[in-house]
């Protein structure tokens, strides 16, 4: 082992790799960092993936929903009540309301339209929402405090790790399982799956398909809002935060497979691992790695790791 470390340090001239190999607790912290980042991204990406899976709309405005979630947490938790959890709940509720309005007034008219139209409309919503956010919250960068009970760090034996990050690591799988149960085991979930398979038949059977669509859109948007709310303590709510997150989410969703919850889950973990270890080992290439994975997946399995080939289920 020592010789490997020496090789990394001297022959490769890579102090990052050497530090990872020689310091197990550092390697462990990076692992935890990867998971906590991944789980936060998963919550948001899952919403994007869900909406695409059912509605077949690539929603560029998803990042803006995330941004609104963060801003709402700031207003409710930091400005008015001082209770972070109330803020997150408000973010979820606020996004649900926004989702109803946007879906009923705009998105429902473009489900049958070509992709270019959908793209234009969702992009228009991005521009509108970012201006609305600026009108409401201005252009300052805000900071949201961690919830009182999760300010510190927990001793994991190997090292200390921030409580809030541990909480995120726990929340991600909980949401994944919850979503899976919801889609696989409930009546609404079954109808949702049916709607992705054959919308007309479902409607012929007397099911109110538009309601299902609205429901799915709300669910996806609420996930974005909650994701943004949970991110607010470490990602300062600020204009432009939507643009950064949407790119990460697209990488995750495409790697995992559009429409697949577990795909997003695994995609997010891959993204987190690559970003956190990559930025230690080859710091100058940290931004390239996620896209290299994306490229590799697109070349080998264009429909993503867990996705289905387009046209496979017409």
Partner 1 sequence: MPFPLEAIQVDGGSGFKANFETERPRRRSALFERPLRSPRLNGPVERNNGAGRYEVCAIRDLPNDDIDDIDQWLDACAEEGNTFRPHHAPGGQTPAERLANRTAKETRPSQYVPNRDSCLSRSCGRRRVAATRAGRALYQGGRKTMKRSYLVAAAATVLLAGAAQADEIRIGVLYPIAGTGAVYGEPAMHGHNMAVDELNAAGGILGKKIVSFARDTKLKPAAASAAAKELITKDSVDVLIGGLSSAVGLAISEVARQEKVVYVATIPKTIKLTTEKRHDHVFRTASHTDFEGDAMGQVVAKLGLKKICDIQLDYAYGHDLAAGIEKGLKRHAPDAEKVLDLRVKLGATDYNAFISQIMGAGCDGVTSGLWGSHFVNFAQQGSPFGLFQQIKYISGGEIASHEIAGKMKGDYPDNVWSNTYELWYHHHDPSHVVFQEALAKRSGTKETAMWPVLAYIGVKFIAAAVEKAGSMDADKLAAALKGMSIDTPVGPRTIDAETHQADTGQFWGPMVKKDGVDYRVMDPVTFIPAVIAE
Residues that bind partner 1 (CB under 8 A): 15-16, 19, 23, 26, 29-30, 33, 36-37, 130, 134, 139-146, 151-153, 160, 162-165, 233-236, 238-241, 244-245, 275-276, 279-280, 283-284, 286-287
CB of 64 to partner 1, least distance (A): 13
Select 52 or 66, whichever has its Cβ closest to partner 1. 66
Report in angstroms the alpha-carbon separations of 28 from 12, 156, 240.
22, 10, 32
CB of 270 to partner 1, least distance (A): 15
CB of 190 to partner 1, least distance (A): 37
In sequence order, what DSSP letters do the residues of 246-313 get, joined into one string?
HHHHHHHHHHH-TT-HHHHHHHHHHHHHHHHHHHHHSGGGTTHHHHHHHHHHHHH-TT-SS---TTTT
Collapse the DSSP code of 144 into the 3-class scheme (helix H, G, I; strand E, B; otherwise coil) and give the result: coil
Residue in this structure with the two tokens 């399982």, named with its chain if needed:
177
Select 49 or 130, whichever has its Cβ closest to partner 1. 130
Select 9 or 279, whichever has its Cβ closest to partner 1. 279
| Residue 45 to residue 10: CA distance in whole angstroms | 40
Select 33 or 214, whichever has its Cβ closest to partner 1. 33
Select 19 or 96, whichever has its Cβ closest to partner 1. 19
Query: Which of 168, 165, 201 has the alpha carbon at shortest distance from 29?
Result: 165
| Residue 241 to residue 223: CA distance in whole angstroms | 16
CB of 142 to partner 1, least distance (A): 6
HSE-CB of 281 using CA atoms within 13 angstroms: 16
E strands within the chain? 153-155, 160-162
CB of 40 to partner 1, least distance (A): 9
| Residue 186 to residue 210: CA distance in whole angstroms | 18
CB of 127 to partner 1, least distance (A): 10
Select 126 or 183, whichever has its Cβ closest to partner 1. 126
CB of 209 to partner 1, least distance (A): 37
Select 19 or 86, whichever has its Cβ closest to partner 1. 19
| Residue 125 to residue 121: CA distance in whole angstroms | 6
Select 182 or 234, whichever has its Cβ closest to partner 1. 234
| Residue 92 to residue 57: CA distance in whole angstroms | 21
Q: 230: burial class by Cβ within 10 Å (0-12, 13-18, 19+)?
A: buried
CB of 29 to partner 1, least distance (A): 4
């Amino acid at each position: 082992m020592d010789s490997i470390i020496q090789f990394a340090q001297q022959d490769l001239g890579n102090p990052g790799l050497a530090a990872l190999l020689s310091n197990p607790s550092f390697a462990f912290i990076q692992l935890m960092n990867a998971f906590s980042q991944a789980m936060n991204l998963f919550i948001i990406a899952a919403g994007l993936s869900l909406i695409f899976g059912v509605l077949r709309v690539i929603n560029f405005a998803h990042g803006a929903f995330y941004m609104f979630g963060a801003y709402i947490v700031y207003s409710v938790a930091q400005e008015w009540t001082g209770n972070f959890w109330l803020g997150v709940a408000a973010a979820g509720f606020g996004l649900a309301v926004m989702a109803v309005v946007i879906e009923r007034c705009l998105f429902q008219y473009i489900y049958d339209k070509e992709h270019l139209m959908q793209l234009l409309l969702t992009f228009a919503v991005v521009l509108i929402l970012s201006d609305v956010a600026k009108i409401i919250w201005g252009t300052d960068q805000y900071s949201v405090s961690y919830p009182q009970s999760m300010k510190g760090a927990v001793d994991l034996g190997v090292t200390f790790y921030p409580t809030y990050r541990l909480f995120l690591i726990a929340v991600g799988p909980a949401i994944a399982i919850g979503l899976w149960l919801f889609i696989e085991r409930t009546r609404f979930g079954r109808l949702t799956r049916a709607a992705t398979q054959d919308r007309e038949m479902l409607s012929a059977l007397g099911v109110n398909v538009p309601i299902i669509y609205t429901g799915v859109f709300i669910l996806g948007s609420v996930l974005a809002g909650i994701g943004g709310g949970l991110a607010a303590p470490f990602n300062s709510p600020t204009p432009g935060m939507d643009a950064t997150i949407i790119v990460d989410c697209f990488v995750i969703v495409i790697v995992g497979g559009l429409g697949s919850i577990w795909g997003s889950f695994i995609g997010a973990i891959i993204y987190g691992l690559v970003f956190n270890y990559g930025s230690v080992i080859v710091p100058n290439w940290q931004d390239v790695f996620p896209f290299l994975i994306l490229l590799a997946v697109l070349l080998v399995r264009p429909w993503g790791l867990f996705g289905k080939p387009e046209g496979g289920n017409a």
